[in-house]
Amino acid sequence: MSAIQSQLIQLIYATTQGASSSSSSSKKMHRQIFLVLLLFIGPAFADLLQNSDFESPPSNLPENSTTPFQQLSGNSTIPGWSFEGTIVYVTANQTVALPGNGHAIQLGEDGKINQTINPVADYVHYLLTFTLAPGGQNCSTNANVSVSAPDSNSILSFKQNFGKEKWQTYGLYLGSWEQQEPVNLILESQSTESDAKSTCWPLIDKLLLKSIETLVPGDDNLLLNGGFEFGPEFLSNSTEGVLLDSAPTPVLSPLRQWSISGTVKYIDSKHYFVPEGNAAVEFVSGVSTGIQAATTVEAGSKYSLDFTLGDANDSCRGNFLVGAQAGSTAQNFTLQSNGTGSAKNFSLAFKADLTTALIGFVSYTTTQTKDGVFCGPIVDNVVLRASQGMKSKIKWEAFIFLLFLVGIL
């Protein structure tokens, strides 16, 4: 993506932020410009890391070793990665289950791995997906890992009862950087064990780094990412979805444009029931779990918020109670779930009191499957529209300028 193309994306975003809606002619022009730009900027980039599943083995491994855990020496090198502290190369066997193709890295005491990446373009955001498991025998599940990049740091912990597997997949937002700025991605063990010599350390496997462009408002939805299609990449061999921890601001959220309270599961249509599109959000950590977004509206105008509630076809049964917020209006909705994949559409009408409206959903129930796995309602296809025709606020001068710039690319 060139600098001009990046600036075009930012300009479209800026000029459309103040628009509540548009006439049919301006909608058509907006759509044409956006489609032309997509031809130049291309899709999101994924899998930007080298040796992201550790299937390329370290050098100087002991020959004919029968142990699945092989500690690396200072003379070893991991293709694509640098490391410090205690690092163990793990091979799957009958007693060690791994989510990847057979190998992983265990971060032992003071263990740290890092890789330097070069941003693919300016004005794009980077989302990381990876799997985490507790490593060792007869140890607690306190497998904690710190993930950091310039201007971001997160500590993720293996959580019990959020899936049936012995590992869990996590997604997080890393940041946004300029193209010429090298980015150092660091994963480091965080011990919570009282015994410093404990062998219970985190296992890291199957990392996937994805870049995504700044989102542009669509024609028929005032909410950005109302269908939750823009989030961390799903791993091809993962059937448990992607866990997303609390993100107090949409800017730092892996679920683009939405803040997160509690823990939600980002689910895909390949392995779950998703009402529309490829992705949806399941509230899995019980009461007060939720998501929230903000959008620009016209004070005094009337709007309707349409959305879909359901269950993910993951044997999650019960009465789901979900609170929906639209501006200053709030209402609770109930859905009876039999856990086999059902959905129901709801609508909430409201009048905007301010120029910014908060749109949010929160779960008021805690639910578990018969296997003891925490689960809950899913939300999808969130659409905000004006109740009546709205006036276009998009400046025609900006569109003419954009057409001119697109024409010279």
Distance of CA 202 to the CA centre of its chain: 21
Considering its fold, how many domains does the chain have in total?
2
Contact in structure between 390 and 381 (CB atoms under 8 Å)? no
Q: Give me the pLDDT at residue 142, please.
A: 66
Q: Which domain holds residue 230?
A: 218-404
Q: Give me the pLDDT at residue 25, please.
A: 45
User: Does residue 5 belong to any structural domain of this protein?
Assistant: no
Is residue 154 located within the same domain as residue 247? no
CA distance 179 to 3: 9
Give tens-digit pLDDT for 49-88: 999 999 999 998 877 777 888 999 988 999 999 999 999 9
Is residue 131 located within the same domain as residue 233? no
Is residue 258 located within the same domain as residue 207? no
Report, as ranges of residue numbers, the positions in the chain whose pLDDT lies below 70.
1-46, 94-97, 99-101, 136-142, 192-199, 388-409
Is residue 109 located within the same domain as residue 257? no
Of 66, 64, 63, the residue nearest 91 (C-alpha): 66
Is residue 51 located within the same domain as residue 198? yes
pTM for this structure? 0.83
Can you give the CATH number for the domain in which 89 is found? 2.60.120.260
User: Does residue 394 belong to any structural domain of this protein?
Assistant: yes
Which DSSP string do the residues of 279-310 spell out, in sequence order? EEEEE-S-TT-EEEEEEE--TT-EEEEEEEEE
CA distance 57 to 69: 13
Q: Give me the pLDDT at residue 42, please.
A: 38
Q: Give me the pLDDT at residue 104, please.
A: 94
Contact in structure between 169 and 129 (CB atoms under 8 Å)? yes
Please name the amino acid found at residue 131: T
Task: Single out the residue in 214, 249, 279 at which a domain terminates.
Answer: 214
